[in-house]
Amino acid sequence: MFGAGSAGTQLVHRLAGQRGARYQPVALLDDDPGKHRLRICGVRVRGGRERLAEVAAETGAQIVVIAIAGGRGDGRVIADLVSLAESAELTAKVIPPVHELVSGSAKIDGVRDPRITHLLGREPIRLDLTAAASRFAGRRILVTGAGGSIGSELCRQLHRLHPAALVMLDRDESALHAIQLALHGRALLDSDETVLADIRDTARINEVFAQARPEIVFHAAAVKHLPLLERYPSEALKTNVAGTLNVLRAAAACGVQSFVNISTDKAADPVSVLGTSKRITERLTAHMADQAPGTWVSVRFGNVLGSRGSLLDSLSAQIAAGGPVTVTHPQVARYFMTATEAVQLVLQAVTVGHSGEVLVLDMGEQVRIADLARRMAATASHRVEIVFTGLRPGEKLVEDLLGAGERDHRPQHPLVRQVPVPALEPREVTDISHLTDPDEVRAALVRLTAAPGPAPMPEPVPGKPAALPARPATPEPAEAGQ
């Protein structure tokens, strides 16, 4: 067991007093030299983490239980200990988080496998949404792509903030049924809050906005699976680019006060159809910021844990099927975030974003997908092989959060970068909307991502902290194959 503090002491006492306990402690480790040579119920503290493999060999231990209840700053410690356990051929387990222990929903001896969030090496990011929350109560809000992973989580959190109206738009009727059921426990699809519409349909989108008259719009609708869009780039042009332009124009026509376009880290120095199409949406949103009153911003995410079609889902399914687990490259790495973190950023954008900017959350370091796959496979009851298949067209080895010429500027929040975006004239999109040949579409999308030059940095805001110095880019984990 690692950890001879309060949690570790409680766990040893609990296990020692149980007949037939599933786990029998044979040794304790702790990095605090002051705890070395202590004994708890006869179990001795035998050093720090550097002795993990040695003590395991001496005692015949098969499992290391990490007795840290998940307080602030413990994410990196847990991730490091899981890596050490792997190298010592030990199975790592963790105790329940402190909030479950305090609430009584879990007991100290409820040892479990590490959760994916433990393996990210950081604590979940929590933004203070007190100021943002007041922006949504009593307001008319519309969410496109409301049935998707981000859209549905957005709707759940917005619903709790008591808007005057929450209009959920999606082209997937089953997804609309699911989100209404989640919000109300019933889903008759018989109210104006669920709207079946496709953002590609200009007339229909204009009609919806004219009827709903939203004050705030969150634009989450998109096609986003990288390999498919490499094969069918015209679908990205029609949905991500032209569809976004339809939504932007409809929003401006009805006097929207705040518009948040959801982008991706693949829009930073893009090399894929997904990335180029989403970079164009950032530039179109910046154009609207120059043309219409209100706030028009974009937000960039890394890969969202647990979203539909995500890396996590794919790895879990492959492991459940007995393997092999496929990873494109041993060094491929992506940024990960939870759906809650992503939605917090989206909601924060309404408060801190300056019109024409893209907001980027500090997601820590990128995680190697091969490491994540190995850790997940280690929890299986059978041996799972990992097979490397090679990078696919449009894939980067590691992702970028900021593109060339974009600075790490955080004037209002230490975890949120705010980056100006050069505008793109909508006519440049309409000029290519007729293209269908895949190579021509790809070339046109690449051309429209190019800016005339770096966007100027905004003037410092009086009373706000100055921008932090730029940091070197670090690798991040991605969704399945993205």
What is the set of active-site residues? 266
CA distance readout (Å), 60 to 25, 182, 314: 11, 48, 34
Residue type at 472 in one-letter notation: P
3-state secondary structure the chain: CECCCHHHHHHHHHHHCCCCCCCCCCCEECCCHHHCCCEECCEEECCCHHHHHHHHHHHCCCEEEECCCCCCCHHHHHHHHHHHHHHCCCEEEECCCHHHHHHCCCCCCCCECCCHHHHCCCCCCCCCCHHHHCCCCCCEEEEECCCCHHHHHHHHHHHCCCCCEEEEEECCHHHHHHHHHHHHCCCCCCCCCEEECCCCCHHHHHHHHHHHCCCEEEECCCCCCHHHHHHCHHHHHHHHHHHHHHHHHHHHHCCCCEEEEECCHHHCCCCCHHHHHHHHHHHHHHHHHHHCCCEEEEEECCEECCCCCCHHHHHHHHHHCCCCEEECCCCCEECEECHHHHHHHHHHHHHHCCCCEEEEECCCCCEEHHHHHHHHHHCCCCCCCEEECCCCCCCCCCCCCCCCCCCCCCCCCCCEEEEECCCCCHHHHHCCCCCCCHHHHHHHHHHHHCCCCCCCCCCCCCCCCCCCCCCCCCCECCCCCC
Query: Residue with structure tokens 């680019």?
Result: 241
